[in-house]
Structure 1
Amino acid sequence: MDFACLWLALLLPLVAALDFKYHHQEGMEAFLKSVAQNYSSITYLHSIGKSVQGRNLWVLVVGQFPKEHRIGIPEFKYVANMHGDETVGRELLLHLIHYLVTRHGKDLEITNLINSTRIHIMPSMNPDGFEAVRKPDCYYSNGRENYNQYDLNRNFPDAFEYNNVSRQPETLAVMKWLKSETFVLSANLHGGALVASYPFDNGDPATGTLHSRSLTPDDDVFQHLAHTYASRNPNMTKPDQCKNKMNFPDGVTNGYSWYPLQGGMQDYNYIWAQCFEITLELSCCKYPREEKLPYFWNDNKASLIEYIKQVHLGIKGQVFDQNKNPLPNVIVEVQDRKHICPFRTNKHGEYYLLLLPGTYEINVTVPGHEPYLTKVVIPEKSQHFSALKKNFVLPFQGQLDSLLVSDSSCPTIPLYKMLPSHSAATKPSLFLFLLTLLHIFFK
């Protein structure tokens, strides 16, 4: 090979351009393995478990330190195709992977994003369901559920009602995954509508169901996250895009306001994993024709990137004792937005709080001791690809392991049943009941 040919070979991309077509398990695996091999310095491919039929649940991690968590670098994730017949998100995440790895080192924004964030991407949570679909269909098909005929977005523990369904292998794998990482922000990608939906999906009077909604203590942040995604998608903010008389103002809705559901993944992420997750409905047609895929990518590319950046909102840091030992399982929350499962530091004493600019009183509490309160001002202009850093040194000696560990778990039961009711329960309105019947299969 002469010098000119060698130089041309070096300029060629390491991974061939990804086709706009549906990639079944074999093709998806081949692409992911090719990326992991050719971009090994910034990627890590692993399986978090197997489906009912034994297919791997692949996750590709993209980041400066892809194989392990590093203090100060937040963990972000995208999950798609938990309903096997909702296919657009699956392909969008494969194209997102290709976009990220091929622009690292060439595009300053993407390079900074990858170097400051550990990005986990799961193209398919329900590979069995995807393989079961016989042909593309805009509406419900048998591939929605997993192989055991369970809807995975009704299969998680629920904070409001007893959800005594059999936990499926795919669900258990995700629950275990959530315990293994300090996820801060997430989105799960669906189809059948065009809207960004935020928690809660279920609720009770304490969260506002008497007003046909169910809001978290961090509702301002969730609304910001949903608007961030929707506002950059040129079609999501347009009224009645799916021609079904469903108008979502600015392309955003509260999950419960749309229709209540039990055992959803986004509520589980927020309550039990301290991870802010929203649900992205990305196509009116659940399984559109392949030739439509380039349009979906063009509509969602900017939103997918901008949403990842939101993991750097707010404040982050570590909690130490007087000897500068990191303290795990210490409660760190804003004083006036307590979570029913308190947000706690991880094993490195780290915490991450997604917050909008403003003044907050942060409550740092070692169980059994008086809270340590401090005022923090988050500026209007956030730091470049980093939340505001704030460490806390508490007046303790020793790591207090025995005390902390005993108080660190949060039971997977209907936690809101333990709260006193603020008012009497109310029956859903006729409108909400009809809405539920018409759109029960959209999420």
Structure 2
Amino acid sequence: MFQRDISPVCYKLHLPILSSLFEGLHKPAISIGKSVNGSPLWVVEISDKPGQREAEPAFKFIGNVHGDEPVGREVLMQLAYWLCDNYLKDPLATLIVENTHLHILPTLNPDGFALRRRGNANNIDLNRDFPDQFFPINDDINYRQPETRAIMSWIKQEHFTASATLHGGALVANYPWDGSRDKRKQYYGCPDDKAFRYMASVYSQSHYNMSLSKEFRGGITNGALWYPIYGGMQDWNYIHGGCFELTLEISDVKWPKASELLVIWKQNKMSMLNLVASLVKTGVHGRIFAADTGRPIPGSLMVKGIDSKISASRTFGDYHRILAPGESYEVVASMEGFTPKRTRIMLEREAMNLDFILDPDGTNAQTKPLPNDCGCDDGIKPFLIREAYLWLYLLVLFFLLALYLLFRRRISSRLARNPPKRPVAI
């Protein structure tokens, strides 16, 4: 069982204990899948409204991707405890709990951890098991590991804005791309390179000594420049989930002594908190609406000059776009069946709120009903509801008519047996 004082038995982590510790701030630990050997992959969501959809950015932390890098799982458990203990006491904890949905998966590779080796029970490196953009590896889902499939399903279910995986063996904040087209060791930046460098710097500069690195300038590095990998989770998140993910190496030593874990936690504490808080404190946030109905719509948001887009949520039409501050951007909101709208903004250090109201473009696409998060068709639902009310009305009317006819019949029968007396004039 995890000990809150980070005692020498720290490496024996038991996640379901969270189910009874932080009542009200989290929903009970849920499993997003199972490992090769059947161990649940436990996740805890921390929020003031856990389990509910809100127009807020969502962030996820994942630890122990490699079984022989256990520091991340211990630090993430301590983060969960600290946030719940300090909610309404510490301003940063309160900001995160009330304005984000934080998901924590302390261990993605419980089997590898138990075996004290890098790969999972099948000895597969999970950070090489995702579909790759440059080379057609792992394209057959049947050949992917169950832990990999669980992450891919989770990303499709949740609308994550950003995330980070915690590793060990170095001290640096790594950002995409992780590989290059020609497999050479070189700087290979993604379309959101400036935003990723900003995110990595937020972590590095908040760390005790990461930014002082002699090996990595500023304590950050492009993955392909450091050493190229293929089939990594970081790039897949960005391409297929619109989720800005960092790979964080938080300890030079993979298996530090248990007595050193508290030091590592303290060195990374502000980095983790500031990284999550940056989703609220910076960037562009807003909602996308349809002008004809006033309803939120799941449109897309693009920035001119940046070849990537993010999607607004289906429930609230909210978007959360990470951008490097201190620059001017032309932001474009669009959706099929609507006329795109664009505007130019100057993004300072603080976050900017920007809503879009899109006009239908007059094509048939505008009348196409929009699916919602439950998979229902909102265009059909009102019709079904109206039809149900009509049938209910007719049923009630028929029932009242039957009662009326029955009443008339009984009155007529009584009058036939006892005719009324004629009034007498006096």
TM-score category, normalised to shorter length: 0.7 to 0.9
For 1:219, the equivalent position in structure 2 comes to: 193
Alpha-carbon separation, structure 2, partners of 1:264 and 1:401:
40
For 2:174, the equivalent position in structure 1 comes to: 197
SS across alignment from 1:158:
coil
Q: Within the alignment, does 1:344 sit opposite 2:311 as a pair?
A: yes
Alpha-carbon separation, structure 2, partners of 1:278 and 1:43:
24
- The number of residue pairs the alignment matches comes to 360
Residue-by-residue CA offset, 1:299-332 (whole Å, 9 max, x unaligned): 111111111111122112221111112222x221
Taking structure 1 as reference, are residues 66 and 210 closer, same or farther at Cα in structure 2, changes over 3 Å only?
A: same
Q: Normalising by structure 2, what TM-score?
A: 0.79
Alpha-carbon separation, structure 1, partners of 2:341 and 2:92:
38
Taking structure 1 as reference, are residues 295 and 360 closer, same or farther at Cα in structure 2, changes over 3 Å only?
A: same
Q: Given that residues 10 and 258 in structure 2 are in contact (C-alpha distance below 8 angstroms), is that contact kept between their aligned partners in structure 1?
A: no
Structure with higher Rg: it is 2
Alpha-carbon separation, structure 1, partners of 2:256 and 2:249:
13
Residue-by-residue CA offset, 1:249-295 (whole Å, 9 max, x unaligned): 12111000001110101101111111111101111121122122122
Alpha-carbon separation, structure 2, partners of 1:335 and 1:238:
34
From 80, 83, 94, the counterpart of 1:100: 83
The structural deviation recorded for 1:157 is: 1.0
From 249, 258, 276, the counterpart of 2:244: 276
For 1:365, the equivalent position in structure 2 comes to: 334
1:251-266 aligned within 5 A: 251-266=219-234
Unmatched runs of 5 consecutive residues or more in structure 1 = 1-14, 134-142, 241-246, 406-443
1:17-96 aligned within 5 A: 17-23=4-10, 27-29=13-15, 32-33=16-17, 35-44=18-27, 45-71=29-55, 73-96=56-79
Q: For 1:46, give the aligned amino acid.
A: I
Q: For 1:378, give the aligned amino acid.
A: L
1:220-235 aligned within 5 A: 220-235=194-209
Q: Normalising by structure 1, what TM-score?
A: 0.76
Q: Given that residues 367 and 404 in structure 1 are in contact (C-alpha distance below 8 angstroms), is that contact kept between their aligned partners in structure 2?
A: no
From 266, 271, 288, the counterpart of 1:303: 271
Q: For 1:47, give the aligned amino acid.
A: S
Alpha-carbon separation, structure 2, partners of 1:318 and 1:239:
40
Alpha-carbon separation, structure 2, partners of 1:276 and 1:111:
23
From 115, 137, 158, the counterpart of 2:132: 158
Percent of aligned positions that are identical: 36
From 108, 129, 132, the counterpart of 1:125: 108
From 284, 304, 324, the counterpart of 2:294: 324
In angstroms, what is the RMSD of aligned CA positions? Answer: 2.3
Q: Given that residues 22 and 91 in structure 1 are in contact (C-alpha distance below 8 angstroms), is that contact kept between their aligned partners in structure 2?
A: no
Alpha-carbon separation, structure 2, partners of 1:17 and 1:79:
19
With 218-227 and 358-367 compared, the bigger mean Cα shift is at 358-367
Q: Given that residues 326 and 399 in structure 1 are in contact (C-alpha distance below 8 angstroms), is that contact kept between their aligned partners in structure 2?
A: no
SS across alignment from 1:183:
coil
Alpha-carbon separation, structure 2, partners of 1:124 and 1:181:
19
The structural deviation recorded for 1:404 is: 7.5
Unmatched runs of 5 consecutive residues or more in structure 2 = 372-426
Alpha-carbon separation, structure 2, partners of 1:64 and 1:173:
26
The structural deviation recorded for 1:350 is: 2.1
Q: For 1:43, give the aligned amino acid.
A: H
Taking structure 1 as reference, are residues 327 and 239 closer, same or farther at Cα in structure 2, changes over 3 Å only?
A: closer
Alpha-carbon separation, structure 2, partners of 1:22 and 1:62:
25
With 58-67 and 391-400 compared, the bigger mean Cα shift is at 391-400
SS across alignment from 1:271:
helix
Q: Given that residues 175 and 197 in structure 2 are in contact (C-alpha distance below 8 angstroms), is that contact kept between their aligned partners in structure 1?
A: yes
The structural deviation recorded for 1:22 is: 4.9
SS across alignment from 2:307:
coil
